[in-house]
Structure 1
Amino acid sequence: MSQDFAIPPDVVALSDYARLAQKRLPAMVSAWLDGGAGDGVTHAANLTGWDRIRLAGGVLADMRGASTGLSLYGLALDHPVLLAPVAYHHLAHPEGEIETALGAAATGAVMTLSTLASTRIEDFGSVAQGPWWFQLYAQARREDTESLIRRAEGAGARALVLTVDAPVKLRNTEERIGFRLPDGIGAVNTIGMAPPRVTAMPGRSAAFLGLLETQPRWEDLAWIRAATRLPILLKGVTRPADAIRAIAAGIDGIIVSNHGGRALDGLPASAEILPRIAEATAGRVPLICDGGIRRGTDILKALALGAAAVMVGRPQIHALATGGASGVAHMVTILRAELEVAMALTGCNSLAAISRDVLWQD
């Protein structure tokens, strides 16, 4: 991978970062980052789902004092662009997650540190200059899960993002290329923690060889809720009934996500799922949406469908691999600028003014 992290002048959209990252990253890393589960149907649908939604322009609106600001879990944010949890940032840059955090802080974007980060929680927290959240994967033993929670709290995390939609995986793109992590890069925060028990029994295939025996269940959600005072956002919700049950269990927010098409192939696009979750939850908790967000117009559409904010995953790694911290900051700036243009041309002078009226109705 090239160590030149200068941003070329022709990078003006997130697709440009994706194009350059494809050239810079080793083929094995690109297969891991840009591939999806199975045939990649859901991954592709995420990207096209937002395109199928058309906008209704609005003219002559009073845009004086227009703002993209919002308040979210006690944070006053300048814009609704958040960085989703992504593992192993060291695959894209020698400084890994710390470099991403610098770019996030420069643009006021909340970053979410993954359980599978290639940087220690404590090291990250000691240098993070802006607010950050911690993505929690529940571990096989509750004591290990609690250790991660306490470490995140102690390092300064402002919320927990409990991700529950990918206990197992089947990613053919990674299988075909034989993906493996390079020496020296790994999930440093789970070293020494007990792996899932694997128990061979008649009638059980690879996915059921005990790998799911210790995965989180609803009773574990209640235990995690009682284990911390931090806000908890449940990530990976695609079914309205699950969202309602999570709220009843004390969850503070829902992240509408199909794991970027990297978990269960055949799920609908996030753009299709979001309005159903929004209708079912009726504003009881904030909704955040990820999956295929590549333009400011996508953000506008997501907010019109009920989201309070959006997350971007792959684009932050594309930008990190291309331009380091400056690339991440530029990527967020592009999205914010595009959102501002979209708001201006649909007559919305604040995020609160965005409604379904900005969506074209057939």
Structure 2
Amino acid sequence: MAAEPVNLNEFQELARLALPKMYYDFYAGGAEDEHTLKENVEAFHRITFRPRILVDVSRIDLSTTILDYKISAPIIIAPTALHKLANPEGEVATARAAASCNTIMVLSFTSSCSIEEVAASCNAVRFYQLYVFKKRDIAATLVQRAERNGFKALVLTADTPRLGRREADIKNKMITPQLKNLEGLLSTKVSSDTGSNLEAYAKETMDASLSWKDLEWLRSITKLPILIKGILTREDAIKAVEVGVAGIIVSNHGARQLDYSPATISALEEVVHAVKGRVPILMDGGVRRGTDVFKALALGAQAVLIGRPVVYGLAAKGEYGVRRVIEMLKDEFELTMALTGCPSVKHITRNHVRTEHERIHSML
């Protein structure tokens, strides 16, 4: 393999070679049999294009708008944990790469760098991921810090009443470092002789009682718009709109929670049809090519979030690696738009793709 990767999968291999096995497994692994982990990627492969020809694509505009913030392409950095395990600069390097690519970074609740460090690293639009712990005042404190430091929205991750069973972390006895944002608020030191320290920590701290009624409490402590992450069904999508969220992220948590939940690209249209354009819909999970970005937009997403590839780029080549990951996706996405006859994002329609269900139906 060439020293300079030419696609995102090659960054993953470089990251595997660069990282200790425990850390690589932590980033790369999914829940239980990892069926959904594989499906997140493979479901994209079963969607094909219906390209249009003889369209003027001499100029391609990739830009779009998310919550009134213009970004260079519909590609956002998803919240992923503990970037300092991948590179000493951690989320600061990731934030700088996102800013240089003119896109949004969602800072993970379990980041290695503090909210303040990331905010001071560069000027950019950033969102903050929020988990709600049993001690609600911790969430309130972090929300206030995010607001003070210029974060523009909250991303409430709602699919984690308990941590999914990540068997690689259990085998490796994965240890959670002290989280800088929780210093003085909560210790991550949890004794566990039987497996993952991360699993034991989550069991002690996660609030399994969190429910729809708590959105009212969250709105009462912040003026920031709230996106909800972890929706996979029409029922939850309708409920999210009813309680007044500013946006929905279709997500199965990178296949790290409930195995045999649907691939996110497979669940996307169900959510899109339920929402009927009332709030923006984003999605994450399995995006590895610019063609994947196009397919997600054709099926109704306003943008995609990328997680693991960003960490792989960071592990392999630091800030430059993260930037290259984003640039590669943008370049591939631009080429896809040209070859399907779409000079701008608004020209991408449902008619540009054919799903597996449609192919089977056409043969009946």
Verify same fold: TM over 0.5.
Answer: yes
Alignment-mate amino acid for residue 93 of structure 1: N
- Between the aligned partners of 1:212 and 1:90, the Cα distance in structure 2 is 23
**Aligned partners of 1:346 and 1:358 also within 8 Å:** yes
Q: Report the residue type matching 1:253 in the other structure.
A: G
Root-mean-square deviation over aligned CA pairs = 2.1
- The equivalent of 1:342 in structure 2 is 336
CA 1:210/1:104 → structure 2, altered by over 3 Å: closer, same or farther? closer
Contact conserved, 2:249 with 2:284, CA < 8 A, in 1?
A: yes
Is 1:294 matched up with 2:311? no
**Cα deviation, residue 123, structure 1:** 1.5
**How do residues 231-250 of structure 1 correspond to structure 2 at under 5 angstroms?**
231-250=225-244
CA distance in 2, matches of 1:215, 1:126: 35
* Aligned twin of 2:51: 57
Partner Cα distance (2:32, 2:94) in 1: 29
1:98 matched to 2:92: yes
1:266 aligns with 2:269: no
- Correspondence for 1:306 among 300, 306, 331: 300
Given candidates 8, 29, 38, the residue that maps to 1:35 is: 29
1-structure distance, mates of 2:42, 2:174: 27
Q: Does 1:175 align with 2:170?
A: yes
User: Residues 186-232 of structure 1, C-alpha deviation per residue, up to 9 Å, x if partnerless?
Assistant: 32112343589x9xxxxxxx999886655421121121123222111
Amino acid of the residue matched to residue 298 of structure 2?
A: A
Aligned amino acid, residue 176 of structure 1 = K
TM-score with structure 2 setting the length = 0.90
State the match for 1:188 in structure 2: 180
Q: Structure 1 length normalisation: TM-score?
A: 0.91
Residue identity (%) = 38
Once the 2 structures are TM-superposed, how far is the Cα of residue 244 of structure 1 from its aligned partner? 0.9
Q: CA deviation at 1:10?
A: 3.4
Matched, 1:79 2:73: yes
Instruction: Give every structure 1 segment of 4 or more consecutive aligned residues whose post-TM-superposition deviation is greater than 6 Å.
Output: 206-212
Distance 2:246 2:77 in 1: 18
Q: Is the 8 A contact 2:134 2:206 kept in 1?
A: no
Q: Give the deviation of 1:166 after TM superposition.
A: 1.7
Alpha-carbon contact 1:140-1:195 (below 8 Å) kept: no
Residue 326 of structure 1 and its aligned partner are, at CA, apart by 0.8
Match of 2:15 among 15, 21, 31: 21
- Give the secondary structure class of the aligned counterpart of 2:283: strand
Structure 1 residue 129: deviation in Å? 2.7
Consecutive unaligned residues of structure 1, counting only runs of 5 or more, are 1-7, 199-205
User: What are the Cα deviations for residues 89-110 of structure 1, in whole angstroms up to 9, with x where unaligned?
Assistant: 0000001100111111111121
- What is the rounded CA distance, in whole Å, between the counterparts of 2:96 and 2:44 in structure 1? 29
Residue 96 of structure 2: SS of its match in structure 1? helix
**Structure 2 counterpart SS, 1:133:** strand
Partner of 1:322: 316
Which stretch of structure 1 is more off in the superposition, 294-303 or 131-140?
131-140
Give 3-state SS (helix, strand or coil) of 1:218's partner: coil
State how many pairs are aligned: 345
Comparing 107-116 and 252-261, the one that deviates more: 107-116
Tell me the equivalent position of 2:362: none
**1:240 offset after TM fit, Å?**
1.3
Please say if residues 225 and 251 of structure 1, whose CA atoms lie closer than 8 Å, have aligned partners that are also in contact. Answer: no
1:203 corresponds in structure 2 to none
Q: Is 1:147 equivalent to 2:141 in the alignment? A: yes
Larger mean CA deviation between 313-322 and 211-220 belongs to 211-220
Q: Is the 8 A contact 1:88 1:186 kept in 2?
A: no
Structure 2: segments with no counterpart, 5+ residues: 191-199, 360-364
Alpha-carbon distance change, 217 to 195 in structure 1, aligned in 2, over 3 angstroms = farther
Contact 1:225 1:250 in 2 (8 A): no
| Preserved CA contact (<8 Å) 1:141 1:194 | no
Question: Is the partner of 1:315 in helix, strand or coil?
Answer: helix
